[in-house]
Amino acid sequence: MILEQFRLENKVAIVTGCSTGLGQGIAYGLAEAGADIAGVYNTTDTLETERYIKKLGRRFLSIKANLISTGPVHDIIEKTLDNFGKIDILVNNAGIIRREEVIDFTEKDWDDVMNINLKTAFFLSRGVARVYIRQKKGGKIINIASMLSFQGGIRVSSYTASKSGLMGLTRILANELAKYQINVNAIAPGYMITRNTAPLRADKIRNKEITERIPAGRWGTPDDLKGAAVFLASDASKYVNGYALAVDGGWLAR
């Protein structure tokens, strides 16, 4: 029956950037649907995320890793396997943004954003895909894209490049991995209330311009991503490959 296909009991999900914002909302959603979570964090500890997930009766493993390099990729995968014995779902959510005019954009702001948002996401996907192939049971990879996977944006050169690139990666990974029953898709959040958008929301003029352009008339919240995440992590999406599901209150349709 169809609702059964959405259930994630006995599934193990790695979620990067799980202690704040959208990653926390996604980890909560997957755990509410039944999954155990290996939560990757860097600076903000995972206590709050862990408390909520354990209260649901799910298992939680906290993994500290700085994803600015691919160094921790092997460790994240091995720790998850040691603890849970398998991996079923990977959510590449960790990401940063740097804001500056094109004319003044620095090489460091380019490299840092590209390394975390794009390079590490690729190599973590590659590592997890190798595990999926070994396990012979398929698997799910969900990349957190952006409106800037489709639009140019303003003052965010490396972010736009990384999120547009992440959409390209979503497609090639889907193409090459579909034959192993691995689904690779993206969620493209619109303008969401998290740390990432704090400067935008603090700017009264930009905040008003953005809110007025959102057909739903409000910014999104981490809770708004739960449904899309559970769908793309579940058997209900087994024939969905290489697609970006926008959760944007209608922004792209405007």
Catalytically annotated residues:
159
Which residue type occupies 7?
R
As measured in angstroms, the least distance from the Cβ of 48 to ligand NAD is 11
Q: What angle do CA 179, 76, 6 make, to 5 degrees?
A: 50
As measured in angstroms, the least distance from the Cβ of 181 to ligand NAD is 26
DSSP letter (8 states) at residue 220:
B
As measured in angstroms, the least distance from the Cβ of 135 to ligand NAD is 25
CB-nearer residue toward ligand NAD: 7 or 48: 48
As measured in angstroms, the least distance from the Cβ of 179 to ligand NAD is 28
Binding site for ligand NAD (CB under 6 A): 17, 19-23, 41-44, 65-68, 93-96, 116, 144, 146, 189, 191-192, 194-197
CB-nearer residue toward ligand NAD: 42 or 157: 42
CB-nearer residue toward ligand NAD: 129 or 186: 186
Please return the burial class of 168, using the count of CB atoms within 10 Å of its CB with bins 0-12, 13-18 and 19+. exposed
Find the DSSP H helices in the chain: 2-5, 21-32, 47-55, 73-84, 107-114, 120-135, 157-177, 198-202, 204-213, 226-233
Asked if 155 contacts 104 with a C-beta cutoff of 8 angstroms, the reply is no
**Token pair in block for residue 115:** 């390394």
CB-nearer residue toward ligand NAD: 26 or 177: 26
